[in-house]
Amino acid sequence: MEKRYHINYNTGIGNFTMKASLEEITKEVAIYLGFTQQGVTVTDNNNNIVAVLPWISIPATDEDIITADYGDFGFYGAWEIYE
């Protein structure tokens, strides 16, 4: 079932709300990622955090799950899903 989610890039701009599955949301978020050094949070209609895409401020290793890599500056790790 599709729900409405609010995506917050935690930068003050670029946030949006989308009606889709959480899987579709995570794919859409990846399209708009940039080097912001901020994690991304996804909340539901009740403002509950349902997913987080963490920013990690160190270079990724071979063992890390990488959503987006910015070399020596850091990377977005694996999605943390709470729903």
Q: Identify the bridge partners of residue 4 per DSSP, sorted by sequence position.
A: 19
Alpha helices by DSSP H, the chain: 22-31
Tell me the pTM: 0.92
Residue matched to tokens 């609010």: 6
pLDDT tier, 1 (very low <50, low <70, confident <90, very high otherwise): low
Strands of the chain, DSSP E: 3-8, 16-20, 40-43, 49-53, 55-56, 68-69, 75-76, 80-81
pLDDT at 68 over 70: yes
Give the sign of the dihedral formed by CA 61, CA 66, CA 68, CA 73.
negative
Structural domain boundaries in the chain: 3-81
Q: Are 67 and 76 in contact (CB under 8 A)?
A: yes
